[in-house]
Structure 1
């Protein structure tokens, strides 16, 4: 027999709004910016007025929880789809304020023309036009005297029919009696099932992440301060991108501005570093995994619900403890010392610019490693080396690029059992063997994608080793990356195109070097055989044609640090594939040497 996984019921809009105001249905997004524009709100009301369906709301009931006194608390519903529609209705019909993109509380006023039976976004022109009721929330107010309102409207618009106006306004007031579908998902369902049901029901095919469910769960709990913790996460992420937002928080949310959370994130107001601008998903992953030693956010939702994984019951003490533990993880994440020292370590590995950060999950787990080691009071030098190696290892192996939650869960459990150093050594033995450096990595470098993580690691190795740009005497790769220098082709692009090579072929990352633009312009479309011969002549004549290097040893070192193969002055178009193979091997060996120095 199939178990009913959800129920579907039709409820008057007024009933749903009452449930939401009383807290029987929690809207976790109510403290976040309202993303609909006023025109969309107007269209929603127009659909209701005409009797058109406006879709279903989806709620997921929290499990019943055993309280400390032995009684059971019935779980309330969390609205996981329909927040924007419900917020729009509360704003327009009840006159509730909403948060705009600047987190300022604003009113959305929708006007109604009873003669034309038409809705419009209220503006100054409409407010001056007596044919319009400038704010429909006044019509729906329980204190409104409908006969007086109709009488006044008709006296202001003397050509109108009183019965017709009364009918139009009564139809407007009847909007709250229209029914809307509410799909209630069973509390016993796991996140994967809820997600699948959500996608199948939701015609837009929107996908909710496990982080979305976790944030909804956090926000719905006011007993243990989840609603404030949710704000903390949102505000921190917003501040990390827009430091000027600090003053707006003080202005629009004075209650939050008085909290310890706000004080502990205040350092961001003067911070312009953009190497790591975390999303709420990043914060949750790092805080949860580092504190709970688990990697699946589904488990976080269960623990915040009070789940006992052994008895499969839901117990209040577990929920309370889990909120406290998550709060500790969030505070550790946003701690100024932790955050800045972690980024300093990543930069010391050569990743000095946000353009060099490809895998956010690799960065997240590196931060988890850092927080884990800090908690163990390990010396700073060891922490730095292990964090650098873990980050580069995970980028090179694509460790968190697919099924990241499974990888997070597996790695943190191993670290919890064996420690970071032994776990890292086991991974290196298995995945960074001689075969990887001699065969695997060169094959990965066979790519035309400039955003390749392997190319980013190669560039980081050049930064770490303080390499000069190709043919540069003084300008470093670090300088060129920092000041948005250009990547150029060793075998010039137009030279290769002339011989029929396509984009995939001439844009091979093994053909890329960071080079000063003026040197690249001087080289133009010349074949390597031509301009490398001229470079040798430059050493003899001291006549600077390409850059300022005029000493043979200095040129040799520049070739070495840029992984330039020997005999370039003899290479023609027929040697291009040989050149690529040779340079990939040199790049791989450079990355290997770099990794060993981390």
Structure 2
């Protein structure tokens, strides 16, 4: 990158460069927000010869997604191969200038600002406002439209009283000769240009990688607009309730497919042509991964995924394996999913860990069992001691996925409970039911760390909102379950869908919370064990289980 170069342009050059597409506003800039009053004040400063600040342009032959029109003025694309000056700083001022000097109509929030209604007051002194937008209370014979001053025929100018002729010429000359200060940045990479933009706009919101990549990958000829493509993907995923997959996850997926790395630096250096070429296949792989989570693992909604990032290695798998996995691949993939989830692997350093895990997916594709160098512990003791219910915890989400896999049914009529992204966001959702109600346990138990045990994942079941509010409330399990026992002839099979077995053995009729927690932990442990292929790293879990069995048998 060359050192920033100070340059200047006059009114004629600046407007001409905008009109022919030489100067562009990249799409990651915010919308034009200055109102016509502020724009008039800016023009007033120019007429008086005041400085209006420096513009910063990035000169490059890259083609970014940019603003295509300003108000009723379409901005053309420059010729292929030509350099473009992208505005990094000064968008609001530059847009104001262009709108005012060209007399544009700009619609915002249902209101139209007509920039052709900006006037020069020829009676004004230098200390007064020379540029105005409100004609009332002024001598109409002393007002001239700014656009008429600049582009109008001589007949308009000579139509004014002779005493104004010198001012007309003076103001026209000032505007046309005004020197706009510009800092030009040449030969900079996109990530450098966006870093400059971010630092300039330090008080605002920093650009995301997605916003940068939207600009970088835009291709009008190929009709590729990443923002629109992502929206279309999310619309498709919403049909299966997987619409919460983030734009960052999608970018990381594409990067993994192309480079087997997904750091910010790697993503920003992705080749535009390759990115566009792989997009459709990447989308197909992402959709297959989501459908697999929903179908085979029975994770009904994306909000329940322990990590959004799990989409990435599974999309990599489906990119290289077009069909659903069967046999050994299916078992190895399932083992991988639960090892990542239960070990809370992607809670930190996710980019590096995903790059490592892609090598494991390669082994699974070759029907080889990967080696895992981290320990997972899902022992009964672990389930009991690490059970604080928080929907922001990947560990808890993993356990909720086990619950959801059972396809929980309503206690009173055995109907399937609806699960949606909307109500899975908060731990206090009415659809998360404390089987031993909180109000009941507040009076029932006097344990150390009481709130931890009351608000425990082993005490959570997924039920209908109606059932939670009206049928259960703060009643003891022995009371409300007695009612459901008489209403629902399939109550035993219903309770199994909540990982609650024989009601007698679970301490339900005695309202024995301690027994309930222990028995449910055992069932949950058993369910997890079905999904894991034991490895050496799991010895800790096996030893804990062995000790617990010995204690239970004694």
Q: TM-score per shorter chain, which class?
A: 0.5 to 0.7
1:343 aligns with 2:290: yes
Q: 2:120 aligns with which of 91, 108, 114?
A: 114
Residue 333 of structure 1 corresponds to 282
Q: CA RMSD in A?
A: 5.2
Residue 185 of structure 2 corresponds to 184
CA-to-partner distance for each residue in 1:64-119, whole Å, 9 max, x for gaps? Answer: xxxxxxxxx998665555556555554554467999899xxx99746324346456
Decide which structure has greater helix share. 1
Paired residues, number? 488
CA-to-partner distance for each residue in 1:46-78, whole Å, 9 max, x for gaps? Answer: 345334645653637579xxxxxxxxx998665
Residue 223 of structure 1 corresponds to none
Q: 1:35 aligns with which of 23, 31, 36?
A: 31
1:450 aligns with 2:391: yes
In structure 2, runs of 5+ residues without a counterpart are 63-80, 122-128, 424-429, 534-554
Structure 2 Cα separation of the partners of residues 571 and 440 of structure 1: 24
Structure 2 Cα separation of the partners of residues 295 and 86 of structure 1: 36
TM-score by length of 2: 0.67
Q: Is the 8 A contact 1:112 1:132 kept in 2?
A: no
C-alpha displacement of 1:379? 5.8
Residue 430 of structure 1 corresponds to 373
Once structures 1 and 2 are overlaid, which stretch shifts more, 160-169 or 11-20? 160-169
Residue 360 of structure 1 corresponds to 308
Structure 2 Cα separation of the partners of residues 98 and 370 of structure 1: 47
Q: Is the 8 A contact 2:304 2:397 kept in 1?
A: yes
* Alpha-carbon spacing, 1:365–1:218, altered in 2? closer, same or farther (3 Å): same
1:203 aligns with 2:146: no
Structure 2 Cα separation of the partners of residues 90 and 36 of structure 1: 12
Structure 2 Cα separation of the partners of residues 274 and 85 of structure 1: 43
Partner of 1:425: helix, strand, or coil? coil
Q: Is the 8 A contact 1:511 1:580 kept in 2?
A: yes
Structure 1 Cα separation of the partners of residues 502 and 91 of structure 2: 55
C-alpha displacement of 1:508? 4.2
Residue 235 of structure 1 corresponds to 228
Q: Is the 8 A contact 2:335 2:532 kept in 1?
A: yes
In structure 1, runs of 5+ residues without a counterpart are 64-72, 220-225, 243-267, 305-321, 539-543
Q: Is the 8 A contact 2:471 2:480 kept in 1?
A: no
Mapping for residues 110-149 of structure 1, pairs under 5 Å: 111-115=117-121, 117=130, 138-139=147-148, 143-145=151-153, 148-149=155-156
Q: Is the 8 A contact 1:437 1:589 kept in 2?
A: no
Structure 2 Cα separation of the partners of residues 133 and 449 of structure 1: 67
Partner of 1:513: helix, strand, or coil? strand
Residue 405 of structure 1 corresponds to 351
Q: Is the 8 A contact 1:215 1:230 kept in 2?
A: no
1:166 aligns with 2:168: yes
Q: Is the 8 A contact 1:11 1:179 kept in 2?
A: yes
Q: 1:287 aligns with which of 254, 276, 281?
A: 254
* Alpha-carbon spacing, 1:173–1:480, altered in 2? closer, same or farther (3 Å): same
Partner of 2:4: helix, strand, or coil? strand
Residue 523 of structure 1 corresponds to 472
Higher relative contact order (CA 8 A, sep 6+): 2
Structure 2 Cα separation of the partners of residues 490 and 437 of structure 1: 22
Once structures 1 and 2 are overlaid, which stretch shifts more, 390-399 or 509-518? 390-399
Structure 2 Cα separation of the partners of residues 345 and 489 of structure 1: 30
Structure 1 Cα separation of the partners of residues 238 and 318 of structure 2: 21
Q: 2:265 aligns with which of 298, 304, 309?
A: 298
Structure 2 Cα separation of the partners of residues 498 and 206 of structure 1: 49
Structure 2 Cα separation of the partners of residues 135 and 462 of structure 1: 71
